[in-house]
């Protein structure tokens, strides 16, 4: 890292879209609608073409981001729900990206969706390194764009305009206002703004003036019948949407508008040259609430969607802009993942990284310098749908499904250098690569203290291939 970068650590704004696919931005190939503000951010900085999310669903992906550990080592390895509100907490002694930056003198704020510990738990945002929090604690509550309340630090901000069936207060607008207020209030000191947007996660709701712009443009339309009244209304099931295609485009436009307003605010405050802005998505595109990702080519012609460990579930867009430091209009194929963000910002802030993380700083890539370290491999696991694991090493991608019921299930092997769509399983042609990646899969993870996040160790009558050792 250059001396200038070390002497003037940048503000960090990390924008995380929710369920936005690799193909959902026009700068990554979307043709049905445009995302001009995010495209402009890409032109100002660097576009990553080989960046991966932490997981294929929300909570573990965010845990990987904040802790710098891949899902074979992270505590939160799946969407583990708590009632009446919240998800599995991280341990009290967890060191997060917010802790690291706060030690460097940053003021830290989280705006949007948390999903890593229920209200009152040891893993609330304000106990995990954040000075300010506004948004949804619980990812199930975040299904609703007109909720009855949002959290403001540790108390509920009641949204009276949404009571009953009213829709007067659109949560993304409120969250945007708070994020901008935080940036303005801290313009004179280093700050970290983790902006965890809820768009375009289902339910498929956007303000009427936005939907009207796209009404009738994406025919045939797709409708969804959800829960619009009764005891389960706004209690996690999605609401109905008769125009899901138009609604999806409208939701992405809201997100794009918000990014544009944020970037404009940073420029108006005169802090653009000292602010690193990153934009990405927590996993691949969803298929819920009426959304039709195949219609929009939301996965960018990759195989699979959210909950898959094929590329469509975990290969995500990523943009980084820092005027005067990151060369404008550039693109990189550096292989990176969510767990690399913590060591990257730690290096920029001249802070040591926590022990036993899996991330590799990509500061040299950002600054166009030599000496970029590379991963030996990237690893993922998923504990729904009979269990899934995947590992990427260079051009090779290994995927194994049904491992919770059969740890010896066949390993699929793909050469992404010639088959980015994972259409041809070449395992039979490369037994030596299969053997190597099998060994890496076995050693990539440590046993979880929660049994539901461990696959069966050995299948009776079978070999140990693909099984995990404690």
DSSP 439: H
Q: Phi and psi of 243, rounded to 5°?
A: -130, 65
Q: Does 220 sit behind a cis peptide bond, omega within 30 degrees of 0 on the bond before it?
A: yes
d(C-alpha 66, C-alpha 137), whole Å: 16
Q: Which two tokens stand for residue 60?
A: 């573990």
d(C-alpha 461, C-alpha 327), whole Å: 56
Give the residues across from 43 on adjacent strands.
Answer: none
What CATH class is the domain 3-367? alpha beta
Per-domain boundaries in the chain: 3-367, 378-453
DSSP 116: S
pLDDT (tens place) for every residue of the chain, 470 residues total: 333 344 689 999 999 999 999 999 999 999 999 999 999 999 999 999 999 999 999 999 999 999 999 999 999 999 999 999 999 999 999 999 999 999 999 999 999 999 999 999 999 999 999 999 999 999 999 999 999 999 999 999 999 999 999 999 999 999 999 999 999 999 999 999 999 999 999 999 999 999 999 999 999 999 999 999 999 999 999 999 999 999 999 999 999 999 999 999 999 999 999 999 999 999 999 999 999 999 999 999 899 999 999 999 999 999 999 999 999 999 999 999 999 999 999 999 999 999 999 999 999 999 999 999 999 999 999 999 999 999 999 999 999 999 999 888 999 999 999 999 999 999 999 999 999 999 999 999 999 988 889 987 433 333 333 333 22
Q: Under CATH, which architecture does the 378-453 domain have? A: 2-Layer Sandwich (3.30)
Model-level pTM? 0.95
d(C-alpha 233, C-alpha 5), whole Å: 50
Contact 66, 110 (CB under 8 A): no
Q: Which two tokens stand for residue 454?
A: 């461990």
Closest C-alpha to 420, from 341, 293, 333: 333
Contact 69, 154 (CB under 8 A): no
Q: What are the tens digits of pLDDT across the range 266-287?
A: 999 999 999 999 999 999 999 9
């Amino acid at each position: 890292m250059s001396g200038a970068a070390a002497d003037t650590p940048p503000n960090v704004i990390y924008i995380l879209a929710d369920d936005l696919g690799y193909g959902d931005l026009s700068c990554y190939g979307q043709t049905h609608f445009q995302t001009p503000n995010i495209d402009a951010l890409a032109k100002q900085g660097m576009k990553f073409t080989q960046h991966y999310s932490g997981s294929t669903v929300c909570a573990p992906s965010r845990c990987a981001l904040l802790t710098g550990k891949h899902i074979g080592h992270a505590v939160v390895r799946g969407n583990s729900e708590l009632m009446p509100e919240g998800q599995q907490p991280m341990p009290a002694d967890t060191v997060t990206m917010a802790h690291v930056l706060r030690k460097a003198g940053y003021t830290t704020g989280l705006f949007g969706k948390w999903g890593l510990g229920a209200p009152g738990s040891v893993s609330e945002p304000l106990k995990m390194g954040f000075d300010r929090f506004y948004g949804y604690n619980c990812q199930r509550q975040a299904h609703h764009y007109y909720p009855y309340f949002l959290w403001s630090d540790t108390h509920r901000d009641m949204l009276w305009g949404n009571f009953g069936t009213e829709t007067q207060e659109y949560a993304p607008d409120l969250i945007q206002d708070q994020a901008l207020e935080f940036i303005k209030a801290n313009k004179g000191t280093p700050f970290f703004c983790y902006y965890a947007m809820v768009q375009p996660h289902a339910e498929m709701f956007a303000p009427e003036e936005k939907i009207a712009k796209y009404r009738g443009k994406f025919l045939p339309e797709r409708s969804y019948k959800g829960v619009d009244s009764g005891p389960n209304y706004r209690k996690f099931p999605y609401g109905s949407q008769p125009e899901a295609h138009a609604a999806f485009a409208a939701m992405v436009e809201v997100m794009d508008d918000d990014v544009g307003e944020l970037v404009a605010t940073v420029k108006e405050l005169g802090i653009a040259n000292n602010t690193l802005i990153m934009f990405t998505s927590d996993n691949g595109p969803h298929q819920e609430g009426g959304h039709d990702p195949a219609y929009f080519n939301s996965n960018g012609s990759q195989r699979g969607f959210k909950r898959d460990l094929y590329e469509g579930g975990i290969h995500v867009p990523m943009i980084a802009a820092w005027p005067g430091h990151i060369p404008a209009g550039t693109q990189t194929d550096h292989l990176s993942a969510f767990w690399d963000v913590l060591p990257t910002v730690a290096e920029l802030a001249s802070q040591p990284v926590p022990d036993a993380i899996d991330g590799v700083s990509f500061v040299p890539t950002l600054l166009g310098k030599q000496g970029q370290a590379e991963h030996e491999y990237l690893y993922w696991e998923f504990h729904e749908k009979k269990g899934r694991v995947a590992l990427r090493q260079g051009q090779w991608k290994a995927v194994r499904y049904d491992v919770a019921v059969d740890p010896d299930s066949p390993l699929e092997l793909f050469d992404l250098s010639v088959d980015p769509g994972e259409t041809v399983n070449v395992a039979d042609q490369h037994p030596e690569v299969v053997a190597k990646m099998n060994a890496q899969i076995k050693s990539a993870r440590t046993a979880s203290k929660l049994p539901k996040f461990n696959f069966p160790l050995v299948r009776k009558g079978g070999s140990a291939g693909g099984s995990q050792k404690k």
